[in-house]
Amino acid sequence: MNKVAIIGVGHTKFGRSTEGLIDLLSNASLEAIQDSNTSDKNFDSVYVGAMSPSAFNNLSGIASALVDKIGLIPAAADHIKNGPASGGSAVKVGFQAIASGMSDLVLVVGGEKMTHLTIPGYVTSNVATLTHPEAERPHGVSLPSFAGLLTRIYLEKYNAKLEWLSEIAIKNHKNGALNPNAHFQRTIEDFMKSAITKGKGNWTNVYEFLKDEKRNPIIADPLRLFHVCPISDGAAALVLCDAEKAREFTDTPVLISGVGQATDTHIIYEREDITTLKALKLASSQAYTMAKKTPENIDVCEAHDAFAILEAIQSEDLGFFKKGEGAKAAHEGLTGIGGKIPINPSGGLKARGHPLGATGVAQVVELVWQIRGEAGKRQVDGAETGITCNFGGFGNNIISIIAERLVQ
């Protein structure tokens, strides 16, 4: 199997954009191509991750449209879908194109354009099509409602506190404030101060602020607004090539050394223990084995905190903390920048934002910046190896990717 290196990355600002999906994908792609010092003439394949361009943008054939738009014709072009893990799946498929020797130079790009959808609940309803069409969806469940149920079970089973989950949101907003590409470049304290200035209330600290029914309303009891990721626009891209050739293009290639993906039951009640992500345990174990790494070797992690509870549980099933201790670890500051295992230095889905198909690619882009030492104010000191967790569905299709400094 050929080894696969990342030689270029691109990332639009996440948030509310006036550009269309193809434009966002184009911008991230062109930035990655420029960063890679390759010529656009040499690309032989392109993989685009996006969850719902049909429902959100009335577009199909987005991969064909993209290669035309950015001048990569006649490169092969395909669209890869795996719910909110469409980006991670696109990275995997692009990885396989290089690993097999079928491609020499691959562009992987993920993106989504959603903020223009103003019908209340439209996005959440669309994402809810990931639930089981007979056992779950007809009963009105959505992904946030599952996250609320999971939070209740977790807090009771492991004697954890909701405030500990709030600290995950506080940390991720703190990190996002240091990320110029983040949707929210503000700490929760910033939000509080702004609300005080506008005369909307008075609070002495963020914990008090987060208990305010109006400023932080309940989304899916007990989860409140700040426990939940936003709806965002954005795109992120990678250029991949055979690791043997990577230094022809860049002095700072990053190796994709581990790739894992696994599924679990579609129907959540069929799982033995809803607080354990079997698919993540398996996917990350595949990635660790392939990369010859253990959780102790990981310097930085990008997790899928669509809901704060997920980051806590993922930090356990990725092997960083014992089962039931992920939320507590966040409370103890072990997952902050400078902590035992920094999780989501980018701001994560909570603060960087969550343009569905972009997320899995953006996670890898953040690892690349961290490993190259280019993460600016949110740099994790000495980051050499990182891991991601990207969620398609509610724990039933998970991808985990390990990237590390390429030494040769």
Query: Parallel, antiparallel, or unpaired: how do β-strands 223-224 and 254-263 relate?
Result: unpaired
Q: Binding pattern to its own copies, positions 282-321, x when CB under 8 A?
A: x---------------------------------------
In the set 17, 29, 38, 52, which binds its own copies (CB under 8 A)?
52
**CB of residue 256 to its own copies, shortest distance in Å:** 12
* CA 160 – CA 165 distance, rounded (Å): 9
Q: Which helix or strand (DSSP H or E) is residue 6 part of?
A: strand 4-11
- Give the binding range for its own copies (CB under 8 A) out of 73-81, 160-168, 224-232, 319-327: 73-81
In the set 78, 104, 190, 212, which binds its own copies (CB under 8 A)?
78
- Give the binding range for its own copies (CB under 8 A) out of 96-104, 149-157, 166-174, 179-187: 96-104
- Give the binding range for its own copies (CB under 8 A) out of 54-62, 179-187, 337-345, 358-366: 54-62
* Residues near 23 by beta carbon (within 8 Å), at least 6 away in sequence: none
When asked if residue 69 is in the footprint of its own copies (CB under 8 A), the reply is yes
Closest CA to 203 of 388, 214, 91, 179: 214
When asked if residue 397 is in the footprint of its own copies (CB under 8 A), the reply is yes
**What is the dihedral sign for C-alpha 237, 239, 243, 248?**
negative
Compute the chain's Rg from CA coordinates.
20
When asked if residue 218 is in the footprint of its own copies (CB under 8 A), the reply is no
When asked if residue 268 is in the footprint of its own copies (CB under 8 A), the reply is no
In the set 93, 117, 149, 153, which binds its own copies (CB under 8 A)?
93
Q: Is 267 helix (H, G, I), strand (E, B) or coil?
A: coil
* CA 316 – CA 145 distance, rounded (Å): 22
Which DSSP string corresponds to 306-329?
Answer: SBHHHHHHHHHHTTSS-TT-HHHH
**CB of residue 102 to its own copies, shortest distance in Å:** 5
* CA 77 – CA 128 distance, rounded (Å): 28
Residue 189 burial by CB count (10 A; 0-12/13-18/19+): exposed, middle or buried? Answer: middle
Judged by CB under 8 A, how many residues of this single chain contact its own copies? 62
When asked if residue 100 is in the footprint of its own copies (CB under 8 A), the reply is yes
* CA 123 – CA 120 distance, rounded (Å): 8
User: Residue 13 has what DSSP assignment?
Assistant: P
In the set 55, 117, 149, 153, which binds its own copies (CB under 8 A)?
55
* CA 80 – CA 358 distance, rounded (Å): 12
In the set 1, 196, 218, 225, which binds its own copies (CB under 8 A)?
1
Contact status, residue 365 vs residue 373, Cβ threshold 8 Å: no
In the set 3, 96, 124, 339, which binds its own copies (CB under 8 A)?
96
- Give the binding range for its own copies (CB under 8 A) out of 126-134, 185-193, 225-233, 376-384: 126-134
Q: Is 239 helix (H, G, I), strand (E, B) or coil?
A: strand
Q: Which two tokens stand for residue 219?
A: 């989304």
Question: Greatest CA separation found in the chain?
Answer: 62
In the set 81, 152, 193, 247, which binds its own copies (CB under 8 A)?
81
**CB of residue 114 to its own copies, shortest distance in Å:** 14
Binding to its own copies (CB under 8 A) within 164-193 occurs at none
Of 75 and 160, which has the nearer Cβ to its own copies? 75
Q: Is 36 helix (H, G, I), strand (E, B) or coil?
A: helix
Q: Binding pattern to its own copies, positions 128-167, x when CB under 8 A?
A: -xx-xx----------------------------------
Of 7 and 51, which has the nearer Cβ to its own copies? 51
Q: How far is CA 391 from the centre of its chain?
A: 8
* CA 390 – CA 311 distance, rounded (Å): 11
In the set 8, 10, 15, 83, which binds its own copies (CB under 8 A)?
83
**CB of residue 335 to its own copies, shortest distance in Å:** 27
When asked if residue 225 is in the footprint of its own copies (CB under 8 A), the reply is no
- Partner residues linked to 121 by β-bridges: none
Residues in the chain: 408
Of 64 and 297, which has the nearer Cβ to its own copies? 64
Residues that bind its own copies (CB under 8 A): 1-2, 22, 45, 51-52, 54-55, 58-61, 63-65, 67-69, 72-83, 89, 92-93, 95-97, 99-102, 126-127, 129-130, 132-133, 259, 261-267, 278-279, 282, 392-393, 396-397, 399
